[in-house]
Amino acid sequence: MLVGVALLLLVAIALPGGRARAESYIEAPRVTAALQQGHAAEFGVGIRRNLLLAVALYCDAGTMGSPEGFFRVGRVLASAPRPLRNPALANAYLALAARLGHHEAIRLYDSRVASAIIGDECGLYGSSADGTRFDLDGYLAGQSSAKQRIALLIRNAARQYQIDPRLALAIAIAESNLDAAAVSPRNAQGVMQLIPATQERFGVTRPFDPEHNVRGALAYLRWLDKRFAGDWRLIAAAYNAGEGAVERYSGVPPFAETQQYVRRVLHFSGFATRERG
């Protein structure tokens, strides 16, 4: 049985274009952001090392379409201390990454261990990670000087627009990890990932200028804040899926990406921690 699984993995890697797919895959800004945040949690860059949070963030990247995200889930689960360590589940995620074209996954796949069946582990890891406090200031201190300047710009502008800076920063981190040059496959642009329609709506003429982009995003957040009576869950959901979707479902829409996005934003902002206090 184990030999059969290993052969399937080798076939997946050897399929024409399999390796090329992995190497040519362009991560969307939200995916890249989740991978970068997972790296910070895994290796303690700016924040305390937290492998559970790292797995949750890598899972988010994977479920948004990233082979690298699933590969990193498998890598962490294969080597983490107990109780997080799970070789059988690690194999399952490595196999998934390989099927998606990640050519390094086979190197870590352990043919001596039977693969587990993947269920809703990513959702469980995410829910468990929510119980830990995210050190927003520490995380920002671990970023480049250019990103720290953008974070300061967001803090100052958020106060002017009467938006909690933690919410604004959490959205910027979830959207692009403070990358002013980010462009998504749907043509969302800049640090706060504004689509052209939102740029036009809030007068943003230079989307790759951090100040223009941030001020347009904060004007939008101020509008959402009034529309949804300051409810951070609904504000974050609307920023991701549109206010129409939030109103249509009378709450956070049942879209996996939106639900993950809301969870990430609230975790980064410290919202859940304040609720429990």
Q: Sign of dihedral through CA atoms 71, 73, 74, 80?
A: positive
Q: What is the mean pLDDT of each run of 10 residues along the chain (277 residues)?
A: 37 39 64 98 96 97 96 98 96 96 94 94 89 93 97 98 98 98 96 98 98 98 98 98 97 96 96 50
pLDDT digits (tens, 9 = 90+) for 101-152: 999 999 999 999 999 999 999 989 998 888 888 999 999 999 999 999 999 9
User: Within a 13 Å sphere around the CA of 44, how many CA atoms are in the beta-carbon half?
Assistant: 2
Mean pLDDT of all residues in the chain? 90
Contact 6, 111 (CB under 8 A): yes
Residue type, 160: Q
End residue of a domain, out of 84, 108, 129: 129
Domain boundary among 112, 129, 146: 129
Pair 39, 99 in one domain: yes
Tokens of 55: 């797995």
Boundary-marking domain end, from 129, 155, 171: 129
Give the distance, in angstroms, between the CA of residue 78 and the centroid of all CA atoms in the same chain: 22
Say which of 27, 42, 68, 175 is annotated catalytic: 175
| CA–CA separation, 264 and 169 (whole Å) | 12
Q: Which residues pair with 183 in a beta bridge?
A: 189
Q: What is the pLDDT of residues 210-227, one digit of tens each?
A: 999 999 999 999 999 999
- Per the annotation, the verdict on 23 as an active-site residue is no
Q: What is the tally of helices (H) and strands (E) in the chain?
A: 17, 0
Mapped onto helix, strand or coil, the DSSP state of residue 177 is coil
